[in-house]
């Protein structure tokens, strides 16, 4: 099936703004643009600070979903992790309650304006709430330098971390951190996220031996097929995650997880639970820690309910047009 024209895309766009239950990535509402094509619905939702070059990959993923569909699934369900934003320790049980049946949690750390003590207290609260057999991973979004990451991960290692996601911002720092952790016998694997999905050459992670595993997301990498190619080229274990999508966008992440030859880690695909609303009445939220592999159709009434103001719609149409020129 051929790609759509720009007019095809602009003619099908619906822009929505959905409140978040808790502040996440510094925002309290999630804006995305949805497009509908012959294969179904796709989501174009690059974060607001992303420029046209990065956004073009998100548009390619939306076109893949709506016009081409996804590769065949190798499994019917995928396991997911709970996601704990940078909340106070006493708020942790309430957050975890939104992810029933999940036995893995990803905890945000290195939040601007917070201290390492805040991170340690939050992770400790998650461990207390989930018990000794749960898996806990932390995500710093590149917020630490090597020295800080080494010091904080030494403290967090007491809570038996599955891995630390993007503890430092550059590939070279990730490499140096792995060396520092090994020298100090700190047993925390390092996962690369931004160094994969925002890099011009994601293979540098492999070439510099900078990570133990990689985090992949369908939309930022240009779609399910491109993400599968990167996993195959990189040769490292992969964890599938999301980008705070609605259920329409989340379906692409689930399709990616379902198509991976191996799926050894719970996926970061449960974040629809962080939204205070959705674009479908059949939301992709975990049941017993699992998500079903299926398409999602947007509901017209919910699209109207969560419709963004006209000025924001124009902003998104201009953004989509700029991304189209580079896609």
CA 120 to CA 40: how far, in whole Å? 43
- 139 among the known binding-site residues? yes
Tell me phi and psi for residue 307, to 5 degrees: -60, 135
CB 215 within 8 A of CB 165: yes
Mapped onto helix, strand or coil, the DSSP state of residue 107 is strand
If you ran DSSP here, which 8-state letter would residue 73 be given? P
* Bridge partner residues of 234 (DSSP): none
**In what side-by-side order are the strands of the sheet with 238-240?**
82-84, 104-108, 135-139, 161-165, 190-192, 213-216, 238-240
- In the annotation, is 106 catalytic? no
> Looking at 108, 178, 265, 319, which residue is catalytic?
108
Mapped onto helix, strand or coil, the DSSP state of residue 321 is helix
CB 182 within 8 A of CB 156: no
- In the annotation, is 108 catalytic? yes
CA distances from 30 to 40, 193, 203, 268 (A): 21, 21, 31, 17
> Looking at 175, 217, 306, 319, which residue is catalytic?
217
- 245 among the known binding-site residues? no
Nearest residue to 286 via CA among 268, 275, 309, 270: 270
- 304 among the known binding-site residues? no
Binding-site sequence positions for Mg(2+): 139, 165, 193
Catalytically active residues, by annotation? 108, 217
Query: Where is the binding site, in residues?
Result: 139, 165, 193
């Amino acid at each position: 099936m051929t790609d759509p024209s720009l007019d095809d895309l602009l003619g099908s766009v619906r822009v929505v703004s959905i409140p978040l239950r808790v502040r996440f990535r510094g925002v309290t509402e999630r804006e995305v643009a949805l497009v509908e094509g012959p294969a179904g619905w796709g989501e174009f939702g690059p974060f607001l600070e992303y420029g046209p070059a990065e956004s073009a990959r998100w548009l390619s993923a939306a076109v893949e979903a709506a016009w081409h569909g996804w590769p065949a699934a190798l499994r019917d369900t995928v396991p997911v992790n709970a996601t704990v934003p940078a909340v106070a320790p006493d708020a942790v049980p309430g957050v975890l309650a939104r992810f029933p049946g999940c036995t893995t949690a990803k905890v945000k750390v290195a939040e601007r304006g917070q201290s390492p003590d805040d991170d340690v207290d939050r992770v400790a609260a998650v461990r207390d709430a989930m018990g000794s057999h749960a898996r806990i991973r932390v995500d710093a979004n590149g917020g630490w330098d090597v020295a800080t990451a080494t010091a904080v991960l030494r403290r967090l290692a007491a809570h038996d971390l599955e891995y630390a996601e993007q503890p430092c911002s550059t590939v070279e720092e990730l490499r140096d951190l792995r060396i520092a952790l090994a020298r100090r016998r700190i047993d925390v694997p390092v996962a690369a996220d931004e160094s994969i999905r925002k890099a011009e050459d994601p293979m540098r992670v492999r070439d510099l031996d900078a990570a133990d595993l990689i985090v992949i997301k369908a939309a930022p990498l240009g779609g399910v097929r491109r993400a599968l190619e990167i996993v195959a080229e990189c040769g490292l274990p992969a964890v599938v995650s999301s980008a705070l999508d609605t259920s329409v966008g989340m379906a692409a992440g689930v399709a990616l997880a379902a198509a991976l030859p191996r799926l050894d880690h719970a996926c970061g695909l449960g974040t629809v639970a962080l939204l205070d609303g959705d674009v479908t009445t059949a939301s992709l939220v975990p049941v017993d820690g699992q998500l079903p592999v299926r398409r999602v159709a947007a509901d017209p009434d919910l699209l109207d309910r969560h419709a963004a103001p006209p000025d924001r719609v124009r902003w998104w149409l201009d953004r989509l047009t700029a991304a189209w020129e580079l896609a």
